[in-house]
Amino acid sequence: MGNRSRAFYSADGFNWQENGTEITFSKALTDPVLIGIPACNLDSGIGTVTVEWIRVRKLVENEPVVTVLAEESGPI
């Protein structure tokens, strides 16, 4: 498991800004890692959260490199 985390926010859902900076945990996270989506509202009214996608992946040191070659011609 990885040991880094980043957070982003958007007021309009289109323009995103990083919230703070990337944090690095002193120890790698161990399996299982539970994730959540925090939400808050500037006033005490009801707020909503819309999640269109979320990406969680296992970190691999060094990330794999993929080489794509030219397409072969001829009969199949």
Q: How many distinct structural domains can be found in the chain?
A: 1
What pLDDT does 3 receive?
72
Go through the chain and tell me how many residues it has: 76
Q: What is the mean pLDDT of residues 1-25?
A: 78
What is the band of 54 on the pLDDT scale with cuts at 50, 70, 90?
Answer: confident
- Identify the domain containing residue 42 by its residue range: 1-76
pLDDT of residue 71: 85
Distance, CA of 15 to CA of 10 (rounded, Å):
6
Return the amino acid letter for 60: V
Q: What is the largest CA-CA distance in the chain?
A: 67
Q: Which of 4, 6, 18 is nearest to 58 (CA)?
A: 4
